[in-house]
Structure 1
Amino acid sequence: MAAKHVTDASFHADVIASDKPVLVDFWAEWCGPCRQIGPALEELNLEMDDVEIVKVNIDENPDAPTRYGVRGIPTMILFKGGQPAATAVGARPKSAIKAWLEGELAA
């Protein structure tokens, strides 16, 4: 299943109220590094059962990135229990994203 696209309107239901950890990818259509990590995040969404990966387009949904202090993209924020638990900024290879996520999920 492809990563779900979350809007400002659905952010609370899809991320804050989720019963499992959610990795939010804050991205934009014009952002090259965002497009680079997109396929890796789609693959990880299929491979990892213990986390849900969702995407928020910052141009179409300005409230959530503002609320969580997103200053550069891509920014990935892992939410656990409805709270931001870890943040990673910038493009990185799939293996690095997976290792970071696994470490944070185990914490």
Structure 2
Amino acid sequence: MTPGQTIVSRFRSEMLTDWGALAKAIDEVVAWRPIESAPKDGQKFWGRVGDDALAMFWHEGFGEFVTGYNRMSLGRGMTFEDTGLSYRDHSPSIQRPSEWLPLPPSGEK
């Protein structure tokens, strides 16, 4: 029996109706990793924020973990004087995760 099947079986057998109890059962099987070891190369991962798991990544420009941001692009051939780039990222949705897990490989759910 896989860990996932074990959780579902336990959930059904105990007839848990409390989502907190389900989250606790999952936490017993899933080993969250310290946030200090999270990737900082732009790779997406699950970040734990309170009781939520959010897909996020490290954005070098903001120096923060984010779930998203907006990008403003200038017209063809134009650049910002201070960076020399033709775009500027802004309005990040900054997160403060306490732990992280890798996302499953592409193609898996």
- TM bin, normalised by shorter chain, reads under 0.3
TM-score by length of 2: 0.22
Highest relative contact order (Cα 8 Å, sep 6+), 1 or 2? 1
Higher helix share: 1
Higher strand share: 2
Higher alpha-carbon Rg: 2
